[in-house]
Structure 1
Amino acid sequence: MLAWTAAAQGTSYRAGVLLGAAAQIWPSVGFPLFGSQYFGAPLQQCETSVRCTLGDTGFDAAVHSGMAYTLDEAIAYALDEDPAATPPRR
């Protein structure tokens, strides 16, 4: 949803990064997306919109950037926090 919102606000690179970060997180929560019209269609629309705006190379770069985040970094990015300023959990 955050990626879709970012795309709707015209921040397509951010949307791509969020899509990449989410792609890394979904499997850990039992990604039941395949075949689901409620999740699959909006995700595909978001990806298509962002890819059209950024082009294939820009989209791939944004997604790969998001996929490189740890869970804590992804959350910090999604919340517009500086990941370096977020203290590690103990």
Structure 2
Amino acid sequence: MAIAIDWRKVIKAKSKRQRDLTQWTDEEWGSQEQHRAKAKGKKVPSKTKGRYMPKATYQRTPKKTLDYQDQKKRKGRKKGKQHIPTGKKFSQK
């Protein structure tokens, strides 16, 4: 008994890196204000100036840390910087 293989699907299959990127892209992204508004069922602000992060990161990060990161991001934006590091202690846990 021969197994039929659809080679088009095999050729179109994604590598692990591509699957990880797709998963990363599909995550629900937003700032602390946006995540909080969604949770309360309120209108989500379109533009915010705080740290932008996936929903999972928002949920597992303590509020005190989120407030610190937002404050740091806002101060950096006032100085004209777009990318402000959050520090090794807080990045990508």
By percentage of residues, which structure has more strand? 2
Normalising by structure 1, what TM-score? Answer: 0.29
Kindly name which structure, 1 or 2, has the bigger radius of gyration based on alpha carbons.
2
The structure with more helix, counted as a fraction of residues: 1
Structure-2-length-normalised TM-score: 0.28
Structure with higher RCO (Cα < 8 A, 6+ apart): 1
